[in-house]
Amino acid sequence: MDSLIAWATWLEATALGEQMRGSALLYPAFNLLHLLGLVLLLGPMLLLDARLLGAGRAFSLPAVSRTLTPLALVGLLLLLGSGICLFAADAGPLAVDRLLQLKLLLIILGVANALLFRRLWSARLSDWDTYAPLLGRLQAALSLLLWLLVMSLGRLLAYF
């Protein structure tokens, strides 16, 4: 925790932090990029997770995964990059904010869940509709829950 606070204090004092606080256009622009990243991550993730849970069986699961995963990855990268820039504007106080800490923990869990899912099940997606492993379905449901919580906490940060 101390290292996060030290890093946040340093980040806030950098030129990036100063620019994010001082520019009338930069913070709103990165906020829009963050929103775009959110849409690009959550839209595909929610559709893919719904498909993993049995919705839309008319669509091949491997094809759905191949199509949606790159979009979600672009969204995640946009969120991470823009999130660091937004964080830089007010990093000191945000680093000790419990909502942000919980959001970051849930992001780590969401990414870890996605990586573990890929490792365990990506080669078996073509058989998913015949035999969907309970653990795989639980991971899809957990993914839905985690990313919806991350999105909700991100919005709540603006108000608390």
Q: Rounded to whole angstroms, what are the CA distances from 34 to 31, 115, 123, 138? A: 5, 22, 32, 28
DSSP 8-state assignment for residue 67: H
**Which pLDDT score, from 0 to 100, does residue 137 have?**
96
Query: Which tokens sit at 144?
Result: 């839905």
List the one residue out of 115, 111, 90, 113 whose CA is nearest residue 100. Answer: 90
**Pairwise CA distance, residues 73 & 45, whole Å:** 10
**Which pLDDT score, from 0 to 100, does residue 83 have?**
95
Query: Which tokens sit at 111?
Result: 């990414």
Domain limits, the chain:
2-157
**Which pLDDT score, from 0 to 100, does residue 41 have?**
95
Judged by phi (left if over 0) then psi (alpha if -120 to 50, else beta), residue 15 lies in alpha
Once rounded to an integer, what is the mean pLDDT over residues 39-68?
A: 95
Residue pLDDT, tens place only, 68-114: 999 999 999 999 999 999 999 999 999 999 999 999 999 999 999 99
The full length of the chain comes to: 160
Confidence grade of residue 3 (pLDDT, cut at 50, 70, 90): confident
Q: Is the pLDDT of residue 1 over 80?
A: no
**Which pLDDT score, from 0 to 100, does residue 158 have?**
84
Q: What percent of the chain has pLDDT over 90?
A: 92
